[in-house]
Amino acid sequence: MSRDREQRWNHNIHFHRLVTDAVPTGATSALDVGTGDGMLAGELRALVSDVTGIDVDQGVLARAEAEHPGIVWIHDDVMTRDFGRRFDVVASIATLHHLGDMRGALRRLGALTSPGGVLVVVGLARSTSVGDHAHDAFGVVQHQWFSRTRTYWEHSAPTVWPPPHSYSEVRAAATEELPGVQWKRLALWRYALTWHRPR
């Protein structure tokens, strides 16, 4: 990996480690949903031999393919694509709020996860509670610090703002659709869901 790529930072890259640290021992396959510029897929490729990135934006996929070799790139909608398989790791960074039907998307991502595998979702939502706004305030401080000490990199993927669901709505849906899911509210206007599919 080039030094320039190693030094890139933004709110999404900041949380890639939540995915890479969750890769189960013995995992051989991974799916990066809404892969965008493919940076997470590239990091997963260093850990597992079989990595697929899927996105509905052909332009960002072309850039990802040029920069990250050894990955299967698919221009399609994860909600309707027939992969014909499951994956030991399913990851989604800042994509869930793009998929419209949040509950359906959570069920779909869970169904794509192999028994014994892990699903990790890092997403954006709307702040509605005092606790949410406290996290947001800390996020402002954290953003300013990292922006001054890292090389801020603006991704080229489309954005949706504001997110259509609140943090409490996402947490409630995930708890119902993915029994046993672990929830964590993050700074930098993010949350994390980690779900291990039973064997």
3-state helix, strand, coil in the chain (%, to 5): 35, 25, 35
pLDDT at residue 174 in the model: 96
Cis peptide before 198 (omega within 30 of 0): no
DSSP 68-110: S-S-EEEES-TTT---SS-EEEEEEES-GGGSS-HHHHHHHHH
CB 163 within 8 A of CB 126: yes
- The residue type at 183: W
| Other CB atoms within 10 A of residue 39 CB | 24
For the cut 90, the answer to whether the pLDDT of residue 76 exceeds it is: yes
Per the model's pLDDT, the better-predicted residue between 12 and 118 turns out to be 118
Domains and CATH numbers, the chain: 3-126+157-196 (3.40.50.150)
Binned at pLDDT 50, 70 and 90, residue 4 comes out as very low
Per the model's pLDDT, the better-predicted residue between 31 and 156 turns out to be 31
pLDDT tens-digit series, residues 102-157:
999 999 999 999 999 999 999 998 766 666 656 665 545 454 545 555 665 565 55
Outline where DSSP puts E strands in the chain: 8-9, 29-33, 50-55, 72-75, 87-93, 113-123, 151-152, 182-186, 190-196
Binned at pLDDT 50, 70 and 90, residue 1 comes out as very low
For the cut 90, the answer to whether the pLDDT of residue 14 exceeds it is: no
